[in-house]
Amino acid sequence: MKKLAVIDSGIGGLSVVRELLKLNNEIEINYFGDNIRVPYGNMSRDEILSCMEHILDFLYEKGVTDCLVACNTMSSAILNTGYTHKIKLYNIVTPTIDEVNRLALNKAAILATKFTIASKEYYNRLKAIGTDDLLEMASASLAALIEDFDENRDIIEEEVLDYKRRIDDGGYKTLILGCTHYEFIDAIFKELMPEVDFIMPAKLLAHSFDASGLKKGDFNIYTTKGKDIYIHSLRTLDIDKKLNIEDYIEI
């Protein structure tokens, strides 16, 4: 029987959990958020892979067999590296590319972390399927700002407005939200960019995963920082499932 985990640098991957539970609320999910090190997008590839290895080793000891890598930065770091683990990994980039291909988009914008953009994983794959006009926008701060949304709303809106100007100037009509943290503020994106269509990788990853044979059980959260942000985030996302949280995990 398969045992599922979802990993992210912080709370962003909860957007994937929300979509998974819409499909099947009975499955056990083991979530690891490395909030003490968020954002991963400003790290090197070696630093990201080292953190991932520790997280995956921890989850393997918990009996996890399959893991959704909900972080675009982590996913970009493992693509084309030959990185493997005893746990089977599913990256978030591939189903996103598949969706762009399905829509046959030859023009799009993407907003992601510095590492994700610099890795060129999205760029190369999108170019290969015919997205010839691609606006790449890298943020060093947005994911971390979203971790403390209530304190940073004004700053977040200012940053999103800057991206809107760049999108409008180039006449782009589709924006890929290339970090699952950004899906926490999808309402802000939609309010400030009502003319733009959004591609949401969290839903795409959840729907691409074969959930048959998964163990049933609770929602278990492990984090390297405090639990309060998770309690608040679960209310925001309207996730209602029996919950167990262990915080200040050392990896």
251 in any annotated domain: no
Q: Which position among 179, 200, 206, 234 bears the catalytic label?
A: 179
Q: Which position among 21, 27, 48, 71 bears the catalytic label?
A: 71
Domain of residue 122, residue span = 94-201
Is 71 labeled as catalytic in the residue annotation?
A: yes
58 in any annotated domain: yes
193 and 182 in a single domain? The answer is yes
130 Rama class: left (phi>0) / alpha (psi -120 to 50) / beta: left
Write down the residue that tokens 């991957």 correspond to. 13
Query: Which pLDDT value is given to residue 236?
Result: 87
Query: Which pLDDT value is given to residue 149?
Result: 87
How do residues 32-55 score in pLDDT, each as one tens digit? 999 999 989 999 999 999 999 999
Number of CB atoms found within 10 A of residue 161's CB:
12
Residues in the chain: 251
How do residues 89-132 score in pLDDT, each as one tens digit? 999 999 999 999 999 999 999 999 999 999 999 999 999 999 99
Query: Which pLDDT value is given to residue 80?
Result: 83
98 and 197 in a single domain? The answer is yes
pLDDT reading at 26 higher than 90? yes
E strand or H helix at 125: helix 121-128
* SS3 state of residue 30: strand
34 in any annotated domain: yes
70 and 149 in a single domain? The answer is no
86 and 209 in a single domain? The answer is yes
66 and 136 in a single domain? The answer is no
37 and 85 in a single domain? The answer is yes
Is 51 labeled as catalytic in the residue annotation?
A: no
- DSSP 8-state assignment for residue 181: G
How do residues 79-94 score in pLDDT, each as one tens digit? 989 899 999 999 999 9
Average the pLDDT over 183-207 and give the result.
Answer: 96
- Total domain count, the chain: 2
106 and 129 in a single domain? The answer is yes
Q: Which of 29, 3, 1 shows the shortest CA–CA distance to 15?
A: 29
Using pLDDT thresholds of 50, 70 and 90, give the confidence band for residue 155.
very high
How do residues 205-219 score in pLDDT, each as one tens digit? 999 999 999 999 999
Query: Which pLDDT value is given to residue 148?
Result: 87
For the whole model, what pTM was predicted? 0.93
**Residue 137 belongs to a domain with what CATH number?**
3.40.50.1860
71 and 126 in a single domain? The answer is no
